[in-house]
Chain A
Amino acid sequence: MLSLKYRIAFHVALAVAASSNAWAQPPGQAPRRQGGFVPGQQRAEEDPAKVSKGKGIYGISCRGCHGADLRGGDMGGPNLLRSQLSLSDREGEKIVPVIQGSLQSGGMPAIPMSPEDARAVAAYVRSVLSTIGGQGKPPSAQEPPTILVGNAEAGKVYFEAKCSSCHSATGDLKRIATRIKDPKVLQNTWVAGGGRAGRGAASESPRRVVTVTVKPANGGAAVQGRLVRIDDFVVTLELADGSIRSFRRDGDVPKVEVNDPLTPHRELLSVYADKDVHNVTAYLVTLK
């Protein structure tokens, strides 16, 4: 069944190549303007002069209720960036009547301005909502606050009690805060047990350095190497000389021992209190 194997490999490779082609532009065409948070959506370019004018009028007549960033203001006006009405507006046909008073029953007063000014305000609103991020993320989010909320002294005490059997501030973690400058990255990294934390880290990456010992059932010599991949059916090792060996698995035969340096860290995930995590991070950022 050799040919089947090749076909499988080929299929998988092609599937990956095909999926990376998402939203490819036809060759020879200038990239089209993408419509904000709706992938592929075609929106007309706004006239910059009109947008600029609309922004000025918005600041005078709308901002108090709807907020400087359009996400709702102190005087109770709703968020315009998630308003179905403004999202569907193309050239003022939805927004202008509301400015002129069509929603007074819902609490939106008529705003005195010329139809031309109202259309300029609509153009400004559209220009902002076209900057909404993927999955509806707001365009105007402030700089996130520092994640350093812990107590460095308490973190040091915790570190010395719980971490120092494997780690040392003057050994493997010397100048860790210089090597990893962003406290958030540092926290993600140490909680994950080193290496890179990320979305994919939820599954066990076969690329991590994990050693495996395979003991054949017939009593032959045990084989040891770096884990390449493992599932219920095959275990694959890279031996010291760089060669690759794999073994078919059937339940407990052959016996396979996996030595994963991350196991202790993974077991700690259910032990840490968030306060401990924050305190240890506050301590580690002092190791410059």
Chain B
Amino acid sequence: MKFLPFLLLLTVSVASFAQGSGVAPEELLKPLKDSWPTYNGDYSGRRFSALNLINTSTVKHLSLAWSVRYTPGMPPPAGAGRGRFGGGPPAKLIVGGEGTGELAAGGGTIKASVLAVDGTLYFTMPDNAWAVDARDGRELWHYYWKTRGGTHIGNRGMAIWNNYLYMETPDNYLVSLDAKTGKERWHKTIADLEQGYFSTPAPIVVGNHVLVGTGNDIDSPGFLLSFDAETGDLQWKFYTVPMQKGDPGLDTWASLDAARHGGAQTWIPGAYDPETKLYIIGTGNPTPAYTTGKRGDGDNLFTCSLVAINVETGKMAWYFQTSPHDMHDYDSAQTPVLVDAPFNGKMRKLVLTAARNGYFFTLDRVTGERLVTAKYGQWTNWAKGLNKFGGPEHDPLKDPTVGGALVSPTSDGTVNWQPPAYSPDTGLFYVPEGNGYSLFYLTDIDPRGSMGLGGKEEAAVGTGGNYLSAIDYRNGKVVWRHRYYGNGGGGGILATAGGLVFAGDGMGNLVAHDAKTGKPHWNARIGNITNAPQTFLLDGHQYLTVATGDTLWAFILN
């Protein structure tokens, strides 16, 4: 019973940090400022904070407030130690899950957005969720999910609705936790693990809807689910590929069977427009990814597209395909950015996206009308002009070939999942730009096509340069490029009203760039950045947080 005093102490300290009233769904409608209550900070996906205490003049005083390493999984036996660094004693551990606990899954990297609410930070690694004190990183509780398996590649974080949290797991459960205690409320099935699905996205709360995406690499249909925030009951399911005779888009597939195995997974959370009630999300690649086979020569809708879904009905309002008939795993699972800004002399409601395929798009987000298509990847060479809808037309000669096709970008893309940022102060859209080249070999010449991501071999043979790039949404032109020596952009981008853009440089630095020019104002060499930098206000201090692997860092002005 010698642990009793410690337990009592813990109870008291948890109570004293009691996280206020949580986040009412109306709060999520406000632009990003003092807190960070949803994946992108606010619904717009701009990742632009109105905070400006840290700015081009003061950023040189930005200093470390704390850094804490978090250990996923069950604690080792007593005495083995958990390698804590300033994180305080082990927090209250809550264990859930449908697995046996025998799978000691790895993946102990923070790729999540960190929710910052009422002085508390909430974040995840696959199978793990934490609440920690925003002032010193000390654990308040740790929730561990015993997995049944699935690909443990990453988890993008949680959603909050009042005092309830929502997390997806690699074995495809939506788990709801009490934000104050970490206790599980319920868990619901998202998809069938046996069919190869694994769930990485952060859910997005809109009203009483918890919007949940998933992923899969084998040939299977993508979909988006809406769960009731209170009960966890399923409200609707939207498939991103045609599933029945008569479904829209079926004529872009060679057969219904091909469409039903056509992919278009919902890997990354979307953005939400409260005025139109449209949730706008990018969809994944078609499957099989690198061979046409039975999917035919058509566009394969609604793969590699922006789709706008009414959150009340689960019905699609419009779509725009950013990579018609993709052949390089250039999914369009990038974060769309909603901007109200002038275009050709008129204020327009826009959605911007820089796709993995090296092309940037500006659309009208009410109608889906395409306004701009522009190549932002400096050496992007897989397409030959635009199709009749304004999407890039793939060049069959640059599809994977037996002798090898020399293609930029690599299958990792010009950008991957990393969220971009947009500053209304500069009118610029900030995105990592990687211009790698690969030789794409077709290795499976079976006329039926391959399966999943099979059928090709890829050799990366060099790069035409890695950059942080600033794009003018009005024409898609790159206004400036800041050259990175490493594979920059790390976990994504943050822009602030302090005239700064924060990003990792791929060489172990967190960098504060000038939003107008890209010039670095400040850096800290803390290791390679694994999530997007974020900011919030607490006790009059503007905090800047970022993760490197299993460690969270918080900076403030001294």
Chain A residues 256 to 288 lying within 8 A of chain B, measured CB to CB, are 262, 265-266, 269-270, 272, 274, 277-278, 281
Residues of A within 8 A of B (CB): 4, 7-8, 11-12, 14-16, 18-26, 29, 32, 35, 37-42, 67, 71-72, 78-79, 81-82, 84, 87-88, 90, 132-138, 141-142, 144-150, 184, 187-188, 191-193, 197-204, 229-234, 251, 262, 265-266, 269-270, 272, 274, 277-278, 281
Which of B107, B148, B434, B460 contacts A198, CB < 8 Å?
B460
Judge whether B389 is part of the interface by a CB distance below 8 angstroms. no
Which of A38, A78, A136, A138 contacts B194, CB < 8 Å?
A38
A234 to B520, CA, bound (A): 13
Do residues B551 and A11 form an inter-chain contact, with CB atoms below 8 A?
yes
A7 to B84, CA, bound (A): 12
Which of B150, B452, B509 contacts A233, CB < 8 Å?
B509
Which of B218, B445, B454, B458 contacts A145, CB < 8 Å?
B445
Task: Give the distance to chain A from B68, nearest Cβ to Cβ, in Å.
Answer: 10
* Residues of chain B within 8 A of A192, CB atoms compared: 459-462
* Number of inter-chain CB pairs below 8 Å: 285
Task: Give the distance to chain A from B308, nearest Cβ to Cβ, in Å.
Answer: 27
A203 to B409, CA, bound (A): 12
A282 to B52, CA, bound (A): 60
* Residues of chain B within 8 A of A191, CB atoms compared: 406, 439, 461-462
Do residues B410 and A230 form an inter-chain contact, with CB atoms below 8 A?
no
Judge whether B444 is part of the interface by a CB distance below 8 angstroms. yes
Which of B150, B453, B507, B548 contacts A11, CB < 8 Å?
B548
What mask results when residues 51 to 74 of chain B are scored 1 for a CB within 8 Å of chain A, else 0?
Answer: 000000000000010010101000
Which of B150, B196, B408, B525 contacts A8, CB < 8 Å?
B525
Judge whether B50 is part of the interface by a CB distance below 8 angstroms. no
* Residues of chain A within 8 A of B402, CB atoms compared: 144-147, 149
* Residues of chain B within 8 A of A266, CB atoms compared: 462-464
Beta-carbon nearest neighbor of A22 in chain B = B106
- Given A15-B551, A82-B219, A138-B454, are A188 and B257 neighbors across the interface (CB < 8 Å)? no
Judge whether B557 is part of the interface by a CB distance below 8 angstroms. no
* Residues of chain B within 8 A of A135, CB atoms compared: 217-218, 452-454
A134 to B151, CA, bound (A): 10
Do residues A269 and B453 form an inter-chain contact, with CB atoms below 8 A?
no
Do residues A204 and B457 form an inter-chain contact, with CB atoms below 8 A?
no
Do residues B412 and A19 form an inter-chain contact, with CB atoms below 8 A?
no
Judge whether B362 is part of the interface by a CB distance below 8 angstroms. no
Task: Give the distance to chain A from B514, nearest Cβ to Cβ, in Å.
Answer: 12
What mask results when residues 190 to 221 of chain B are scored 1 for a CB within 8 Å of chain A, else 0?
Answer: 00111110100000000000000000111110
Do residues B460 and A231 form an inter-chain contact, with CB atoms below 8 A?
no
Which of B261, B408, B458, B509 contacts A269, CB < 8 Å?
B408
A147 to B439, CA, bound (A): 11
* Residues of chain A within 8 A of B261, CB atoms compared: 79, 82
